[in-house]
Amino acid sequence: MPDKLTIPDLLEKVARGEPLSMITCYDYPTARIIDRAGVDLVLVGDSVAMTVLGHPNTLPATMEIMLLFAEAVARGCERAFVIGDMPYMSYQVSVSEAIRNAGRFMAEAGVDCVKLEGGRAMCDAVRGIVKAGIPVMGHLGLTPQSASAIGGYKVQGRSAQAAINILEDALALQDAGAFAVLLELVPARVTEVITQKLDIPTISIGSGAGASGFCQIFHDVVGMFEAFTPRHAKQYAAIGAELRQAMERFVAEIKDRTYPGPEHSFKIAAEELREFMTYAEKR
């Protein structure tokens, strides 16, 4: 069994200039594939509400939903560092609720850390969770749980003041004890500067090449989310199209009676069959 990655391992990789790889995942079989492929960090994102459950945004993801998916992913990851994404209203109401819910992710789902959205406004929660011994990854830039308040799903930090706010939020998260900060849809130069100013790693999702690590949504990079593919997502496979072809062949073979064939069926011993036939004939 491969050794489980720890935060010191991740920091060591960053210190020697090796970029971290991070991908979202929501189920056990995919987690095993991702883990064996050598991905460093696996995020059980609240994006599950959209990619898997078909909602238009991430808000319907609850703690119970997140724990169910996180538990499956954690079971599938022997090496990768697993992140439980704290869902909407699981950490915003009070610090004690934030600590309790982060603890549930660790104890019930078996993840290695939690991630939450927000900067200075969330630092009390981050401090509380970290004090309880739970590592926290921050999430700045486009924070989908507050899409309505920040004007939708668009690039953040395009004005000097907005970029300053993201830098100050990142520094505050670092001071509060976060071990890394995810930057979503932030201009590439802003990410570069923030990465230089922080002692902790930054992870970019749609935030350019100047971060310490890079994250993508699994369904986007394997071609499984038909509704929309963001510009920053490079497609490495067309799994959705392949699955559709497989299902079309399945339907066609059932229709033309090619499937199931004798090789897909099971036999009964001759004398058992004789006895069964005798019985069936009398019914």
Measure the CA–CA gap between 167 and 183, rounded to whole angstroms. 10
For residue 67, state whether it binds ligand KIV (rule: CB under 6 A).
no
Three-state SS at 123: helix
The stretch among 45-53, 62-70, 119-127, 230-238 that binds ligand KIV (CB under 6 A) is 45-53
Identify which of 161, 166, 159 has the alpha carbon closest to the alpha carbon of residue 191.
Answer: 166
Residue pair 213/202 in contact (Cβ under 8 Å)? The answer is yes
- Of these, 10, 173, 215, 233, which contacts ligand KIV (CB under 6 A)? 215
Measure the CA–CA gap between 45 and 215, rounded to whole angstroms. 11
Identify which of 86, 10, 16 has the alpha carbon closest to the alpha carbon of residue 44.
Answer: 86
CB of 267 vs ligand KIV, minimal distance in Å: 49
For residue 20, state whether it binds ligand KIV (rule: CB under 6 A).
no
- Of these, 113, 171, 200, 217, which contacts ligand KIV (CB under 6 A)? 217
For residue 40, state whether it binds ligand KIV (rule: CB under 6 A).
no
The stretch among 6-14, 33-41, 42-50, 257-265 that binds ligand KIV (CB under 6 A) is 42-50
- Determine if the peptide bond prior to 260 is cis (ω within 30°): yes
Quick one: DSSP state of residue 235? P
Residue pair 10/40 in contact (Cβ under 8 Å)? The answer is yes
CB of 71 vs ligand KIV, minimal distance in Å: 17
For residue 220, state whether it binds ligand KIV (rule: CB under 6 A).
no
For residue 224, state whether it binds ligand KIV (rule: CB under 6 A).
no
What beta strand segments (E) does the chain contain? 20-24, 41-44, 81-85, 113-117, 136-141, 180-184, 202-205, 213-216
Catalytic residue among 64, 108, 184, 263: 184
CB of 216 vs ligand KIV, minimal distance in Å: 8
CB of 199 vs ligand KIV, minimal distance in Å: 22
- Of these, 39, 43, 73, 126, which contacts ligand KIV (CB under 6 A)? 43
The stretch among 43-51, 92-100, 154-162, 246-254 that binds ligand KIV (CB under 6 A) is 43-51
- Of these, 46, 112, 169, 220, which contacts ligand KIV (CB under 6 A)? 46
Three-state SS at 23: strand
Count, residues near ligand KIV per rule CB under 6 A? 12
- Of these, 35, 112, 184, 192, which contacts ligand KIV (CB under 6 A)? 184
What beta strand segments (E) does 104-174 contain? 113-117, 136-141
For residue 183, state whether it binds ligand KIV (rule: CB under 6 A).
no
Active site residue 242: no
Which amino acid does the sequence have at 116? L
Residue pair 233/224 in contact (Cβ under 8 Å)? The answer is no
Cβ–Cβ contacts within 10 Å for residue 174, how many? 19
CB of 250 vs ligand KIV, minimal distance in Å: 31
Per CB under 6 A, residues contacting ligand KIV are: 24, 43, 45-47, 58, 85, 182, 184, 205, 215, 217
The catalytic residues are 184
